[in-house]
Amino acid sequence: MIAEKNTTRATYPLGRVAAAVLLAFAIAACSSDEPPAYVERPVEELYNGALDALQVGEYEEAARLFDEVERQHPYSEWASKAQLMAAYAFYQENRYDEAINALDRFIELHPGSPDVSYAFYLKAISYYEQISDVARDQKMTTEALNALEDLARRFPNSKYTRDAELKIDLALDHLAGKHMTIGRFYQDRSEYLAAINRFRTVIERYQTTTHVPEALHRLVESYMAIGILDEAKATAAVLGHNFPGSDWYIDSYALLTGENLRPEESEGSWISSIF
C-alpha cells in the first residue's frame, strides 16, 4: 500500500520566515570569512610536496610549500634548505625581487652555510637576468656586476665563480656598450666634447671589452673634428699598436693621412699614459 502524500501545508507568519532566512545567510557569511584551520603537517611531507611542485613547473605552489616548511618547522634541519629552495622557485617564475629578498634573508641568517655561495650566485643571476638592451637604463647591469664581483671576491674557489667571472666580462661589455651608444649620439649631434668624455670612459674603465678599438677610432674622429690634432695622432698610434689589423685602425689611418698626418705617439697625451 502506497502511503498518500501529505498535502497539508503548515503555515508560518511571513515575518518569522524572512527572519530565519536572513539569519541563515548571516551565519554562512560569517563562517566563510573565517581563515582555514591551521593544520600542521610533517616536514618531510611539506618538503617533498614542494619538490614535486617544483619538478612539474608549479613554481608558485612550490614557493608556498617551501615557505610553509619554514613556518611550521622553523628549527628543523630542512628550514634553511626550504628558504633557499623558495628563492629558487621565485627565480624560476621570474619573480626576481622576491627571489633576491629571500636570498638576502638566507645570507643574513645563515652566513656559515655550505650553500651560501650558491645563494650569492643565485642573487647575482637574478640581477643578471634583468639586464636590458643598451638603449635602456643599465641599473640592473650595475647591480648584476656588483653582485657577481662580490661572489668572486668572497668565494674565489667556488664552483660558481668561473661562471660568475664570464658574466662579469659580459656585464662590463654591456656597460661599455651603453657609453658607446651615448657617445655616438653626441658625436652625431656634433657635441664632440661630450662624445669624447664617453669614449674616454670606455678606454679608462673598460679596457678588456670588445668596444675599445671602436672607442679609440671615435676619439680620433672627434679630436680631428675639433682640431686637437696631437691627441688624434697619439690615439691613432695607440690604436695601431694594440689593434694593427682592425678595420677601426684602417679607418683612423685613412682619416689622418687624408689630412697629411700620421699616427704619432706623444708622451704628454693621456692616452699614452693609459696604454
Nearest to 94 by CA among 142, 53, 144, 128: 128
Confidence (pLDDT) at 14: 38
Confidence (pLDDT) at 31: 47
Q: What is the DSSP string of 82-128?
A: HHHHHHHHHHHTT-HHHHHHHHHHHHHH-TT-TTHHHHHHHHHHHHH
- The DSSP letter of residue 233 is H
Tell me the whole-structure pTM to 2 decimals. Answer: 0.78
Q: Is 69 exposed, middle or buried (0-12, 13-18, 19+ CB in 10 A)?
A: buried
State the DSSP H helix or E strand holding residue 257, giving kind and residue range, or none if neither. helix 247-257
| Per-residue cell: 234 | 697619439
Cα–Cα distance measured from residue 44 to residue 177, given in angstroms and rounded to the nearest whole number: 49
The answer to whether residues 182 and 198 touch, using CB atoms and an 8 Å cutoff, is yes
- What are the boundaries of each domain within the chain? 211-275
Confidence (pLDDT) at 71: 83
- The DSSP letter of residue 228 is -
Exposed e or buried b per residue across 167-187, where buried means at least 16 C-beta atoms within 10 angstroms of its C-beta: bbebbbbbbbbbbbebbeebb
Confidence (pLDDT) at 205: 95
**Residue ranges in the chain modelled with pLDDT below 50:** 1-32, 35-36
